[in-house]
Amino acid sequence: MKNTIADIAKIVGVAKSTVSRYLNGGSVSDVTRRKIEQVIKDTGYIPNSFAQSLKAKKTSMIGAIVPRLDSFSASQTVTGMDEELRQNGYQLLIVNTNQNLSREIEALYDLARQKISGIILFATEITQAHLTAVEEIGIPVIFLGQQHQKVYSIIYNDFAAGYDIGQYILTKGHRKIAYLGVTEKDEAVGLQRKLGFQKAVKEQEKAEVDFFESGFRMSAAVEAASGILDGLDRPSAIVCATDNIALGVMKAAHMRGIQIPKDLSVTGFGGYEVTEMIHPGLTTVKYGYWDGGCLAARQIIRLVHEESVDSLTVLHYEFMERESVDNVE
Amino acid sequence: MKNTIADIAKIVGVAKSTVSRYLNGGSVSDVTRRKIEQVIKDTGYIPNSFAQSLKAKKTSMIGAIVPRLDSFSASQTVTGMDEELRQNGYQLLIVNTNQNLSREIEALYDLARQKISGIILFATEITQAHLTAVEEIGIPVIFLGQQHQKVYSIIYNDFAAGYDIGQYILTKGHRKIAYLGVTEKDEAVGLQRKLGFQKAVKEQEKAEVDFFESGFRMSAAVEAASGILDGLDRPSAIVCATDNIALGVMKAAHMRGIQIPKDLSVTGFGGYEVTEMIHPGLTTVKYGYWDGGCLAARQIIRLVHEESVDSLTVLHYEFMERESVDNVE
DNA sequence: CTGAAAGCGCTTACAG
DNA sequence: CTGAAAGCGCTTACAG
């Protein structure tokens, strides 16, 4: 249970190096091989990976730093990443920062200490500390979800998606619209989606838009929606920055007997599976989170192998028209 | 960037041991301390954790082996676990087996090789191979979600919850019921919930129940539900083994113009956040996944410290009555 | 408070 | 094919 390569070498009656060679697929005679096999099986010997890594000076581990695990996007992305990584012989080490920015920085250094080969950071906000850390640790890092010129980045095209949603809502005849977003500190979700939406709005003179902010949780959205819905001048459509927020808005509407889409149109962002199951189906933008995870994995592997990688990759999205938006004449 | 304790010792002009002592909070004079501090900062020295662990012969890592990450229960549990672990100075290493039983076994050995201090396994099916592995690796293991006498286990009271749901449905007057479950290989979700439900049914002579099986995905549930809904003799209620399945059933019903709960009652298991947001709200049983994760973390830490732990812990649940079940007279 | 030395468990040229 | 030896980067008694 607690034996080393020396122990089993002694039992078999060979040198440590022979056992090591056996373990690493080096040349060993058939007789010796069989003996070693047997003894390893009998003793239940398990190599100490620290000692291995200490010599090898690297691991086959890739670190993922995520702000949270309990979100659709995060879990999908991580799953795709994990799949791809394993197929290439890498192991994924996930660090959950619980939306704490300074923990991201710590995690960066932590992972470096553990001689992780590469790191994928699910970015929300990029600070100077991030950039400094990335530079200091000297191992490949990819930002997923946000971009920065100095770091390899993979992003979803949030601006374009926001623009599409905006155009769609306007095409449907809505002129009094509420945009329920999240903090602009989140560059992609908070800012880019809104900016894209705003661009569409600016192209339509008559549109009147009020902007509101919500937290990410459904319960926060229910509350934020209440303020909008109980106002005197209720909008005909609420554009939400995430599907979760849209779900909260739908709930708040339902609690007031407001029918969707007849009395109120709603859109989301994300394309969570559940948005297709509910009634009415939520019109939203679907991101390929799983694919994003896969791609990030492939790129980090290339980087580890010192192969070239595009410094910025923009991922596709899909507009999903369902039943939550009505025509307004 | 690539310096060792020897490098920085040389620069400072002291012995490696002094630097090591500094790093580990041993006694070092103020002057030396300051010099070392400076040099470490300048050089960006990061200790090699392999070398550290090789001596220390243990890590402060706990492994979690999970069948999948992209489920509400898994992500909630992992998040709770992670929180508790970090607060106690442990790091969580998550291994996703993607519902592949043999990968669970591999993961057990893998983690042992990495000198993980303890392992929490999100169990669905327990085989002899599991038991053998647990024994061979000789480090603390906790099964979460399934029980076995030979291993520390934490379970949700699925049997009792199934019984409650059964009783509730019967009290509401339903006599023709469909139970849409999952494979019995999943002892907790597939078997115990059904068994509890069956017990309730047996206490009510007139009840007529048909049993069906579905996959775990919403889309699989939509399909499975279709078979039930399109049959000649449609039940007045469908009891689903998970909330996801219930969501799929609701979708399938909606697609056919079947109203819930007027034409069809539906229940779930799980208590996913979204079940409260949809309309009608889903009557279900809510498990404290986050708490379960926390508790598992606390227990594995006790085990690592060689403190005693109950061999079986049964977690609470909460019956959530909402609007998806109608009275039948 | 500080340093020299041994050792953690493995791998890797280098001889044979 | 096999073995002796050095070394990976750190920690830890043991002296001083």
Specify the pLDDT at position A57: 67
Examine the pLDDT at A316 and tell me if it is beyond 80.
yes
Task: Say what the pTM is.
Answer: 0.86
CA dihedral A69, A74, A80, A83 (to 10 degrees): -20
Structure tokens, B231: 């049959």
Query: Widest CA span of chain A, in angstroms?
Result: 89
Q: What is the pLDDT of residue A16?
A: 87
Q: Which residue has the higher pLDDT, A249 or A48?
A: A249
Inter-chain touch B279–A54, beta carbons under 8 Å: no
Nucleic strand C near CB of residue B277 (< 7 Å): no
Report the pLDDT averaged over residues B179-190.
94
**Using the 8-state DSSP alphabet, how is residue A13 labeled?**
T
Mean pLDDT, chain A, whole residue set: 91
Point out the residue among A53, A76, A274 whose CB comes nearest to the CB of B70. A76
**Mean pLDDT within A91-99:** 89
| Mean pLDDT of all residues belonging to chain B | 91
- Residue B284: the pLDDT is 98
pLDDT recorded at residue A306? 85
- pLDDT at position A248, please? 96
**pLDDT above 80 for B248:** yes
pLDDT in tens, B198-233: 999 999 888 999 999 999 999 999 999 999 999 888
Own/partner pairs for A35-40, CB < 8 Å, 24+ apart?
A36/A8, A36/A12, A39/A8, A39/A11, A39/A12, A40/A8
Which protein residue has its CA closest to C1' of D9?
B51
Contact check, Cβ <8 Å, B114/A276? no
Nearest nucleotide by C1' from B6 CA?
A: D9
Give the pLDDT score at A47.
Answer: 83
A39, A8 in Cβ contact below 8 A? yes
Contact B250 A277 (CB under 8 A): yes
Q: Measured from the CB, is A5 under 7 Å from any atom of strand C?
A: yes
User: Exposed, middle or buried by CB within 10 Å (0-12, 13-18, 19+), for A210?
Assistant: middle
- State the pLDDT at residue A27: 79
Band of pLDDT at residue A2, cut at 50, 70 and 90 = low
DSSP state of B285: E
**Residue B57 predicted with pLDDT over 70:** no
Residue B2 pLDDT: 67
Confidence grade of residue A234 (pLDDT, cut at 50, 70, 90): very high
* Confidence label for A259 from pLDDT (cuts 50, 70 and 90): very high
Sign of CA dihedral A106, A108, A111, A115: negative
pLDDT tens per residue, range B34-44: 888 888 888 88
Q: Count residue pairs from A and B with Cβ separation < 8 A.
A: 129
pLDDT digits (tens, 9 = 90+) for A299-315: 999 998 889 999 999 99
| Structure confidence by residue, pLDDT tens digits, A28-86 | 888 888 888 888 888 888 888 888 877 766 678 899 999 998 888 999 999 999 999 98
pLDDT band (50, 70, 90) for residue A152: very high
- Residue B1 pLDDT greater than 70, yes or no: no
Joined tokens for residue A175: 């002129």
- Which DSSP string corresponds to A47-96? --HHHHHHHH---SEEEEEES-SSSHHHHHHHHHHHHHHHHTT-EEEEEE
List B63's β-bridge partners, or say none: B93, B119
Q: What percent of chain A has pLDDT over 90?
A: 64
Q: Is the pLDDT of residue B246 over 60?
A: yes
Mean pLDDT of B241-248: 96
pLDDT band at A274 (very low <50, low <70, confident <90, very high): very high
**Is residue A195 very low, low, confident or very high in pLDDT (cuts 50, 70, 90)?**
very high
